[in-house]
Amino acid sequence: MDSFGEVFAASAPAKVNLHLGVGEARADGYHDLVTVFQAVDQLDDVKLVVEAHTATEGSVVNAIYTNLLMDIEVAEDLDTPSNLAWRAVDAAVNAFWAEHPGAALPRIRIEVTKSIFVAGGMAGGSADAAAALVAANAYLERFGGSALSDDRILEIAKTLGADVPFALMGGNALGTGRGDELVEMLGRGEYWWLFINPGTSISTGKAFALLDDMRHDNPALVPHLDTTAVAQALTSGNPAQLGAALHNDLQPAALKMRPQITRIMALAEAAGGRPIVSGSGPTIAVLCDDEQHAKRAYYAINPHLSEGMDILLAKGPAEGATLL
C-alpha cells in the first residue's frame, strides 16, 4: 500500500485552572464545577502512522508508543488500549463507521510524545485525547473521504473526559457542569508560568473524595463558585491582579495528600512568584510577572528541588489542539 508510513500529527496544550470551585458532591458522585481554564504552550504531540493492512470493524489501532520527556514516576501503564489517545482514535473511527458502515480504513500505530506532567493536574491525558481526535479526523478525511463535523468531535471529546473539550478549544474559558460546558473568556496580554512537579502523582478521584471528607470536619472549606475576580484580572492584563485572584478549592486536599508541596510553594513565594496547586495536583503552577521574572525564578528554585522533581516554563494563553 503506497500510503504505508503516512503520518497524521497534532499537538494539544496543557492547562492551568486559574479558578477551581468545587460544589458539594451530587447523588451520582460527581461534583458541579465552576472553573476558569487557561491553556499554556506546554504541548503533547500525537502521531498516527499508517500501517499496511486494513480494518472494517473493531479497532484500527495496532499499538501505541509513548515517549516521556521527563523523569516522573508513573503508576499506570501509558502504553495500553486504556490510553486516552487510543480511546479517542477508536471513538472517532467508530463514529465514522456508524455513518459509513463497512468502510475499509488502514490500521495505524499511535505515537505519543509527552512533555506535560502525567497525572499532574495539567490535563495531559486530555491533551493527548484532543490531539488524537484532530489527527484522527484528518486520517478519516484522507482515507474515508469524509471528516467528522466539529460538533461530532466535541460530543466525542465530552465522552472521553471533562477536560478534553477545553484541550480542543484552548485560550481562556469558563467551564461549568463537569467543567466541559465552555464559554470563551476575554483576556489581555500573556502570562508566564513555572510548573513544578514533586515527582509523584495524585488521583483526581481521591482528591475529590478527600475534599468531601475535609469539608465534613472543616465548615470553612465551602465551595468558591464566584469567578468575578479572575475575569476582571484577565481583562486587565495585569499578572499581579491575576495572581491575587487565583483560587483552587482542591488545594487543601492536595496539600494533605502530598505535604512536600508546601515546601515547593514556599520556594516559589521566596522567588516572588504566586503559586497555586494546578487542578487536583500535585503540580504547582507559579504565576510570574513576565518572561524575565519567570526565568529568574526558574534558576532560583531549580537548585533546591529534589531528585525526581521537574520544573517547566510556559506561557499562556495558548491555542487549542492543532494539526501539525
Whether 76 has a pLDDT exceeding 60, the answer reads no
Which CATH number is 7-183 given? 3.30.230.10
CB atoms within 10 A of CB 111: 18
Instruction: Check whether 28 has a pLDDT greater than 80.
Output: no
State the Cα–Cα distance between residues 268 and 254, nearest whole angstrom: 17
Residue-wise pLDDT for 152-184, tens only, equals 999 999 999 999 999 999 999 999 988 889 999
47 given a catalytic annotation? no
**Active-site annotation holder among 15, 47, 114, 180:** 15
Report pLDDT digits (tens) over 124-144. Answer: 999 999 999 999 999 999 999
The boundaries of every CATH 3.30.70.890 domain in the chain are 191-316
Q: What residue ranges of the chain are covered by domains with CATH 3.30.230.10?
A: 7-183
Does residue 1 register a pLDDT over 50? Answer: no
Q: Is 15 one of the catalytic residues?
A: yes
* DSSP-based helix, strand, coil % in the chain, nearest 5: 35, 30, 35
- Taking the alpha carbons at both ends of the chain, their separation in whole angstroms is 23
Hey, which residues does 9 pair with through a beta bridge? 47
Q: What is the pLDDT of residue 74?
A: 57
In percent, the amount of the chain with pLDDT more than 70 equals: 97
Contact 36, 295 (CB under 8 A): no
pLDDT above 50: residue 61:
yes
As a whole number of angstroms, the distance between CA 114 and CA 106 comes to: 25
Assign domain 191-316 one CATH number from 1.10.3720.10, 3.40.980.10, 2.40.10.120, 3.30.70.890: 3.30.70.890
Task: For residue 2, name the pLDDT band (cuts at 50, 70, 90).
Answer: low
Integer angstrom CA distances of residue 254 from 21, 163, 196 = 14, 19, 14
| Cα–Cα distance for residue pair 265/263, rounded to 1 Å | 5
Rounded distance, CA 320 to CA 166, Å? 7
Catalytic residue among 44, 45, 128, 163: 163
